[in-house]
C-alpha cells in the first residue's frame, strides 16, 4: 500500500519515513514504554500495598473523581483537537496553553473552596485538607498540556516513553519513603502530585515549542500612544485610574485575541470534553458510590486495588494503541489506493485483539496467586474482582481504538453521545443494584457486561463512518478471543488441583504463553507472522 512520506521529529534529528514504518515504530516504542511504565508501577505498587491498608486507598479513591474531572475540564479536549489538525500553528498551541493555565487555576480555587463540602458528603473531615493538597496536581498539569499535545501530534513516542518511565520512578520512590515514614494516604497524594509535576517538567524539556505572552496588536499600541500623547501634564488628577483602566482593557483585548484559536477549536474539542467527563464519571462511579454506600473506605479500597491492577494492564495496550492510532487514522484518511482507512483500522484492530485478549485473560487467570502472594491475605477480597474486571479490560483497548477512529473522522459528537448514555447506565445501574440489596460483586458483573455490550454501539459508528461491516469486525476479533479463552481455560483446568503458590502462578504464565503462541503458529495467523518478521528485520 502506498503512503506519502511524513516528517518525524525525534531528538536532534529529523527524517522522513513512511506511515507504515511510523506506525510500527510507534507500536514498538509505545509497547515498550507502556510495558515498562506498568512494570515499574506494579513493582512500586506491590511495595505500597504491603505498607498501606485498604482504607488508605479508599480515601484517595473518594477524591480521584474530583481531580480527574477538573483535569478533563482544564485540558478540554485540546490535545486531540491539535493532533487532528494537519499542521497546528504556534498561535493555536499558544492559545491552548494559556486557556489551560487560566482554567486550571480557576478550577483549583473552586475546588479549594468546595473541599469542606466534599468532606461533609463522605462524612470524613480529613478529606478537606487532603483534597486541597491533591487538587494541586491538575494545576501543575495545566502548564504542560500544550507540550504534551506537541509530542503526541508529532508521534514523538520515544520521548514520551522516557518521560513516563522517569516520572513514575521519581514519584513512587518518594511515595514509598513517605509511606514508610507513616504518612499513609498523604504519601499516596504526594506520589500523585509529584508524578504530574515530573511529567510537566519533562514535557517542557522534550518539546521544542514554547509559549509566548499575549502581545498587544500594533493598532492597539498606536491607540495607546496617542492616548498618552494628548494627556497634558497639568490634568494629572484621575490620570492613574484612567491609565489602569486603559491598560486593563488592552490586556483583556490582547488575551482575547490570543485565546481566539482555542475558541475556534472548541466546537470540536468541547464534544471530546463532554465525552472525557462521561468517561471519568464512568470509571470513577465505584469510587464515589462505594465510599458513600459503605463508610470507612475499606470496600472502596478493595475495589480500588483490583481496579488499579486491571487499569495498569489496560494502559499497557491502550497506551500503545492510542499513541499512534489517531495520527495514523488521520493520515490514512487521505489514502487513495488499496483498503485505505478501513484497511488501516482493521489491521490495528487485529493487532489490538492479538495482544489484549491473552494479556488481560491471562491476568484474570493468575489474579488470586498474584494478589495473595504479592500483596498479602488482607487483599484477598480483591482477587475475584480483578478477575471480573479483566474480562472487561480485554475489550477496553478495542473501545479505545474505535473511539480514536471516530475522533479521526472529526465526529466528536458521536463520542460525546455514546459516552453520556453509557455513563448514565453505569451510575443508574449501580445505584439501583444497591437499592435492591445487591453487593459489590453483582455491581461489578453488571459493569463488565454493560461495557462489553457497548461495543455494538461503537461498531455501528464504524460501519457508518468507514463502511466496516459487523461480519468483518467479528472476523478480526473472534479468532483471537476464542484462542485466548481456549488457552486460559486449558491452563486453569490443568492447574486447578494445585495449591496457591508461586509455582502455580509461574506455571500458568508459561503454559499460557506457550499454548497461545503455539496455537497461533499452527494456525498460521498472519498478524503473528508479521510481528515476528518485523522483529527479526529490525534486528538485522
CB 135 within 8 A of CB 66: yes
Spatial CB neighbours of 429, under 8 Å, sequence gap ≥ 6: 443, 446, 447, 450
Q: What is the DSSP letter of 1?
A: -
pLDDT, residue 14, reads 40
Counting other chains too, the contacts that 3-10 makes at CB distance below 8 Å and 24 or more residues apart are: 3/331, 3/332, 3/335, 4/331, 4/334, 6/331, 8/154, 8/155, 9/154, 9/156, 9/208, 10/156, 10/158, 10/159
Q: Does a structural domain hold residue 162?
A: no
Q: Residue 410 is part of which domain span? A: 297-540
- 373 with 515, same domain? yes
Alpha helices, DSSP H, located in 284-297: 285-293
Radius of gyration of the chain (CA): 25
- 196 with 257, same domain? yes
Domain boundary among 236, 264, 295: 295
- 271 with 397, same domain? no
Which one, of 466, 308, 334, lies nearest residue 401 by Cα? Answer: 466
What mean pLDDT value characterizes the chain?
77
In angstroms, the Cα distances linking 52 to 45, 185, 340, 442, 506 are: 10, 8, 51, 27, 26
pLDDT, residue 334, reads 53
- 291 with 311, same domain? no
- In angstroms, the CA 143 to CA 146 distance is 8
Question: Helix/strand/coil (H, E, C) string of 348-408?
Answer: HHHHHHHHHHHHHHHHHHCHHHHHHHHHCHHHCHHHHHHHHHHHHHCCHHHHHHHHHHHHH
Lowest mean pLDDT among 83-97, 394-408, 480-494: 83-97
Which grid cell is 81?
Answer: 483537537
Half-sphere exposure of 95 (CA within 13 A, CB side): 21
- 140 with 274, same domain? yes
- In angstroms, the CA 345 to CA 402 distance is 9
- In angstroms, the CA 328 to CA 316 distance is 19
- In angstroms, the CA 410 to CA 397 distance is 20
Lowest mean pLDDT among 9-23, 156-170, 456-470: 9-23
Domain boundary among 263, 279, 295: 295
CB 332 within 8 A of CB 344: yes
Q: Does a structural domain hold residue 382?
A: yes
- 407 with 333, same domain? yes
Q: What is the DSSP letter of 468?
A: -
Q: Does a structural domain hold residue 470?
A: yes
Which one, of 318, 19, 316, 33, lies nearest residue 164 by Cα? Answer: 33
- In angstroms, the CA 357 to CA 485 distance is 8
- 450 with 536, same domain? yes
Handedness of CA 176, 178, 179, 184 (dihedral sign): negative
Spatial CB neighbours of 314, under 8 Å, sequence gap ≥ 6: 360, 393, 396, 397
Spatial CB neighbours of 379, under 8 Å, sequence gap ≥ 6: 49, 54, 302, 305, 371, 372
| Three-state SS at 9 | strand
- 119 with 198, same domain? yes
Helices first, then strands: H and E counts in the chain: 23, 2
pLDDT, residue 5, reads 34
Spatial CB neighbours of 171, under 8 Å, sequence gap ≥ 6: 191, 192, 194, 195, 198
pLDDT, residue 402, reads 87
Domain boundary among 235, 261, 295: 295
pLDDT, residue 8, reads 40
CB 501 within 8 A of CB 369: yes
- In angstroms, the CA 188 to CA 331 distance is 41
DSSP symbols for 215-267: ---HHHHHHHHHHHHTS-TT--TTHHHHHHHHHHHHHHHHHHHHHHHHHHHHH
Q: Does a structural domain hold residue 269?
A: yes
Q: What pLDDT, in 10s, does the model give residues 43-60? A: 777 777 777 777 777 777
pLDDT, residue 485, reads 93
pLDDT band (50, 70, 90) for residue 488 = very high
Q: Does a structural domain hold residue 199?
A: yes
Q: What pLDDT, in 10s, does the model give residues 421-477? A: 888 898 999 999 999 988 888 999 999 999 899 899 889 888 888 888 888 889 889
- In angstroms, the CA 367 to CA 51 distance is 20
Q: Does a structural domain hold residue 494?
A: yes
* Residue where the block lists cell 520521548: 159
Answer whether residue 342 shows pLDDT above 90: no
- 254 with 311, same domain? no
Q: Which residue did the predictor score with more confidence, 209 or 218?
A: 209
- 266 with 303, same domain? no
Which grid cell is 181?
Answer: 515514614
* Residues β-bridged to residue 77: none
| Three-state SS at 7 | strand
Q: Does a structural domain hold residue 5?
A: no
pLDDT band (50, 70, 90) for residue 241 = very low
Q: Does a structural domain hold residue 356?
A: yes
> What H or E segment, with its residue span, contains residue 441?
helix 440-453
CB 399 within 8 A of CB 455: yes
- In angstroms, the CA 171 to CA 196 distance is 9
As for how many domains the chain has, the answer is 2
- 397 with 520, same domain? yes
- 278 with 313, same domain? no
Half-sphere exposure of 85 (CA within 13 A, CB side): 18
Which grid cell is 101?
Answer: 493555565
pLDDT band (50, 70, 90) for residue 121 = confident
pLDDT, residue 331, reads 54
Which grid cell is 357?
Answer: 485478549
Answer whether residue 15 shows pLDDT above 50: no
Which grid cell is 26?
Answer: 510507534
- In angstroms, the CA 202 to CA 198 distance is 6
- In angstroms, the CA 130 to CA 115 distance is 9
Highest-pLDDT range among 175-179, 214-218, 326-330: 175-179
Amino acid at each position: 500500500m502506498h503512503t506519502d512520506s511524513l516528517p518525524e521529529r525525534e531528538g536532534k534529528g529529523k527524517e522522513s519515513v513512511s506511515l507504515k514504518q511510523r506506525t510500527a515504530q510507534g507500536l514498538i516504542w509505545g509497547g515498550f514504554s507502556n510495558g515498562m511504565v506498568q512494570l515499574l508501577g506494579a513493582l512500586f505498587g506491590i511495595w505500597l500495598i504491603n505498607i498501606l491498608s485498604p482504607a488508605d486507598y479508599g480515601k484517595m479513591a473518594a477524591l480521584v473523581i474530583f481531580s480527574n474531572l477538573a483535569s478533563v475540564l482544564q485540558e478540554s479536549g485540546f490535545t486531540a483537537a491539535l493532533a487532528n489538525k494537519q499542521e497546528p500553528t504556534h498561535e493555536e498551541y499558544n492559545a491552548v496553553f494559556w486557556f489551560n493555565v487560566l482554567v486550571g487555576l480557576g478550577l483549583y480555587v473552586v475546588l479549594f473552596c468546595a473541599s469542606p463540602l466534599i468532606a461533609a458528603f463522605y462524612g470524613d473531615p480529613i478529606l478537606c485538607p487532603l483534597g486541597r493538597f491533591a487538587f494541586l496536581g491538575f494545576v501543575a498539569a495545566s502548564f504542560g498540556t500544550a507540550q504534551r499535545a506537541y509530542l503526541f501530534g508529532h508521534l514523538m513516542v520515544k520521548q514520551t516513553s522516557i518521560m513516563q518511565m522517569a516520572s513514575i520512578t521519581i514519584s513512587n520512590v518518594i511515595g514509598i519513603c513517605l509511606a514508610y515514614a507513616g504518612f499513609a494516604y498523604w504519601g499516596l497524594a504526594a506520589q500523585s502530585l509529584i508524578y504530574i509535576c515530573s511529567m510537566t517538567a519533562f514535557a517542557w524539556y522534550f518539546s521544542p515549542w514554547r509559549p509566548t505572552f499575549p502581545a498587544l496588536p500594533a493598532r492597539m499600541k498606536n491607540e495607546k500612544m496617542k492616548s498618552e500623547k494628548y494627556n497634558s501634564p497639568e490634568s494629572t488628577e484621575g490620570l492613574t485610574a484612567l491609565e489602569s483602566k486603559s491598560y486593563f482593557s488592552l490586556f483583556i483585548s490582547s488575551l482575547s485575541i490570543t485565546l481566539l484559536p482555542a475558541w475556534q477549536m472548541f466546537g470540536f474539542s468541547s464534544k471530546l470534553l463532554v465525552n472525557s467527563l462521561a468517561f471519568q464519571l464512568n470509571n470513577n462511579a465505584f469510587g464515589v458510590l462505594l465510599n458513600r454506600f459503605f463508610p470507612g473506605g475499606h470496600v472502596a479500597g478493595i475495589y480500588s486495588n483490583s481496579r488499579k491492577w486491571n487499569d495498569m494492564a489496560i494502559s499497557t495496550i491502550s497506551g500503545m494503541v492510542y499513541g499512534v492510532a489517531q495520527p495514523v487514522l488521520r493520515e490514512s484518511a487521505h489514502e487513495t489506493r488499496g483498503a485505505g482507512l478501513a484497511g488501516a483500522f482493521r489491521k490495528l484492530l487485529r493487532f489490538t485483539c492479538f495482544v489484549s485478549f491473552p494479556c488481560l485473560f491471562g491476568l484474570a487467570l493468575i489474579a488470586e496467586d498474584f494478589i495473595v502472594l504479592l500483596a498479602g491475605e488482607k487483599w484477598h477480597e480483591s482477587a475475584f474482582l480483578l478477575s471480573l474486571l479483566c474480562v472487561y479490560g480485554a475489550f477496553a483497548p478495542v473501545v479505545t481504538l474505535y473511539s480514536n477512529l471516530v475522533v479521526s473522522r472529526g465526529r466528536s459528537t458521536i463520542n460525546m453521545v455514546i459516552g453520556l448514555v453509557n455513563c448514565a447506565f453505569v451510575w443508574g445501574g449501580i445505584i439501583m443494584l444497591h437499592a435492591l440489596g445487591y453487593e459489590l460483586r453483582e455491581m461489578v458483573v453488571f459493569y463488565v457486561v454493560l461495557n462489553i455490550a457497548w461495543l455494538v454501539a461503537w461498531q455501528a459508528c464504524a460501519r457508518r463512518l468507514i463502511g466496516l461491516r459487523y461480519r468483518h469486525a467479528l472476523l478480526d476479533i473472534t479468532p483471537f478471543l476464542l484462542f485466548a479463552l481456549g488457552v486460559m481455560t486449558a491452563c486453569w483446568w490443568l492447574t486447578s488441583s494445585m495449591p496457591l503458590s508461586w509455582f502455580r502462578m509461574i506455571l500458568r504464565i508459561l503454559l499460557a504463553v506457550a499454548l497461545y503462541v503455539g496455537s497461533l503458529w499452527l494456525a498460521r495467523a498472519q498478524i503473528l507472522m508479521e510481528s515476528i518478521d518485523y522483529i527479526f528485520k529490525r534486528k538485522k
